[in-house]
Amino acid sequence: MVKKQISWILALALGAQAFLYIPAMAAEAGAEIYTAGISETDTSALGVDTVGFGGEEPYIVEDLDAYETMEILTMDQEGTVSVYSCDSKEEVGRKIGELSQEEGISVIQPNYRYEDQALAVNDASSGEQWALQNDGSFQMDERTIYPIYANPFGRPSHGSELLGLLVQVREKHAAAGVDINIEEAWAKYGNGTHDAIVAIIDTGIDAGHEDLAGAMWVNADEIPGNGIDDDGNGYVDDVNGWNFYNGNNQIYNGQEDSHGTHGAGTIRASIGNGAGIAGIVPGNRVHLMALKALGGEDGDGSTASLIQAIRYAEENGAVICNLSLTTTVDDRAMYLAMANSSMLFVVAAGNGDSRTGIGLNTDHTPFYPAAYDLDNIISVANLSFDGNLHDSSNYGAMTVDLAAPGTYILSTTPGNTYSYMTGTSMAAPMVTGAAAMVYSYFDGIGPADVKEILLSTVTPMENLAGKTMTGGRLNVGAALSYDIIRLSRSGFGNAGHAPENGTAPLIETRSVDRAGGTYLQVRVVDIDGDLKTLLYAQGELTAEAFASGTAGEAFTVNENDVATFRVDHAGTYTFYAADSRGNQTVETVRFLDMSVGPGGM
């Protein structure tokens, strides 16, 4: 589950007559600051997503409701992070007060939970890939010696909660025949007929892994390591993809990239090389594009980085995109980015309630982006080796399409190692691999046809009826035996068609009342990446008024597409955004009574 991203927001003052504007990244040496008769805004005491300049006052999130985990995270000026656990909201408040008085602390905030959809990792020295061929012998018993990771990014841990999960698994035995029927698919596939590029938007990928040799997409227009953007696409030395999390070409940063490396192996690990495991797709037809949009110990990321990765993938020829991530936030910008894309998105359905470990019905409790009503999405649940949905897997007859193996999946992990992981994050790459195999096998089909084939050829399972739209599990062998004459060739109905002239920028606003003042957060997202003009003005203005060049003051947003204004006077304010194709958006905000803060909007 992807948590709510914290935005590092720069402060702008918005008043009736006097303005202070601080351009994004103005804290850099030599940045120009424009003022008009007022002092610089002090945002250090705000409980909103702001950060002070100069490094003297800490950034503090004071809203106690934001501390859902009862954990406080601090960062000092050297970048060292500490976490404090509390038993109540009252204790959280007291501890924040104490920490705010300590010298050297630059950040005090909740220890947010950004989660990919992997539940557990075993550092496996050997194992069986029951998902590919399940003869009923796979089991987890008391003799298992694999060390257990608390999450796929952290250090080995033997916590009681995770141990309890293992005890449950040790009591289960595999049900013969519950697999994806890969041997029949391999027999038909041969060497495929044409190439396919698969984008993995995730953590990074260890492209040097022994079992991923030859699996990575290569940007043929880029000369590796010369420090030049040879193809002029704005990314220097993007040979195998790009790191949108750190803003560089390093697609692999070590152990934090276990999650993406694991998914890559499921799809495309070498077959018959005498080492490790077998991926789903044989041969060299399928190429993996590494797009690192998540990082850190918890695998966090932002909407901005995900949208940039989607745009990069499509511009560089990807036809299928794996998204093993979720959030409970209905993100309009992410929705539009996916709706405008012609790619087929294979998305993890999610791992349910993080407190109970029990899967949820996403027809009633949506997890995004899997639950978006878009035709270019396949939502995937986690099937266990005993033929049942894993207890943690989300389900939904309207929002989840099918199930695929996702419990104790053995695959590649950094440093030429192999590990078990569990979660819908592991089930999604199974379907992504199958989609890539189908696309590269049949001539003359598109991404919408791939989805139709996969959903039409599932193996029905009684216990999946009413749990998924198809009521079945992935069957790759049946998919490759599909008679494509039966295809509807209808394409994606409500997705896959970006407007001819692009999409207008999206403006979202939110007011907050903190430290005796009212602040307005303005988020501007441009799906097409060609944002040209940002302006704001007092009063209710039309797009034409801004476009004429006679109205408005310029502003910029930070790397998370957000700017913050301090509102000193009641009144009406209009924000304007335009892209290079002439698409325009205006958003008007009214503050009727400053005494009531955000409620006066």
* Dihedrals phi, psi of 250, to nearest 5 degrees: -85, 95
Asked if 361 contacts 395 with a C-beta cutoff of 8 angstroms, the reply is: yes
Q: How far apart are the first and last CA of the chain?
A: 32
Confidence of residue 113 (pLDDT cuts 50, 70, 90): very low
Asked if 301 contacts 292 with a C-beta cutoff of 8 angstroms, the reply is: no
| Residue 425: active-site member | yes
Is residue 170 scored above 70 in pLDDT? Answer: no
CA gap 3, 298 in Å, rounded:
10
Identify the burial level of 501 via C-beta atoms within 10 angstroms of its C-beta, where 0-12 means exposed, 13-18 middle and 19 or more buried: exposed
Asked if 126 contacts 145 with a C-beta cutoff of 8 angstroms, the reply is: no
CA gap 68, 74 in Å, rounded:
16
Query: What tokens does 501 get?
Result: 């002239």
Of 393, 411, 425, 511, the catalytic one is: 425
Closest CA to 472 of 397, 421, 406, 390: 397
Question: What is the per-residue DSSP string for 38-103?
Answer: SPPP--TT-SSS---STTSSPEE---GGG-TTSEEEEEETT--EEEEE-SSHHHHHHHHHHHHTST
Task: Note the pLDDT of residue 601.
Answer: 31
Closest CA to 378 of 302, 311, 433: 433
Q: What is the Rg, in whole angstroms, of the alpha carbon atoms belonging to the chain?
A: 25
Question: Tens digits of per-residue pLDDT, 308-362?
Answer: 999 999 999 999 999 999 988 888 889 989 999 999 999 999 998 878 889 999 9
Q: What is the mean pLDDT of the chain?
A: 80
Q: In the chain, what percentage of residues exceed pLDDT 70?
A: 79
Of 206, 209, 211, 259, the catalytic one is: 259
* Dihedrals phi, psi of 17, to nearest 5 degrees: -125, -35
What average pLDDT does range 458-484 have in this prediction?
Answer: 97
Q: For the chain, what are the domain ranges?
A: 11-112+504-600, 120-486
Instruction: Cite the beta strand spans of 377-427 per DSSP E.
Output: 377-383, 402-405, 409-413, 417-422
Answer with the residue of higher pLDDT: 192 or 65. 192
Answer with the residue of higher pLDDT: 84 or 150. 84
Of 202, 257, 513, 526, the catalytic one is: 202
What average pLDDT does range 61-89 have in this prediction?
Answer: 78
CA gap 200, 198 in Å, rounded:
6
Confidence of residue 145 (pLDDT cuts 50, 70, 90): very low
For the question of whether the overall pTM of this predicted structure is more than 0.95, the answer is no
Q: Which fold has domain 120-486?
A: Rossmann fold (3.40.50)
**For residue 105, what are the contacts with CB-CB under 8 A and spacing of at least 6?**
58, 74, 75, 76, 77, 99
| Residue 259: active-site member | yes
Asked if 437 contacts 189 with a C-beta cutoff of 8 angstroms, the reply is: yes
- Number of neighbouring beta carbons within 10 Å of residue 194: 11
CA gap 103, 122 in Å, rounded:
41
CA dihedral over 92, 118, 470, 496, signed as positive or negative? positive
CA gap 238, 79 in Å, rounded:
28
| Residue 287: active-site member | no
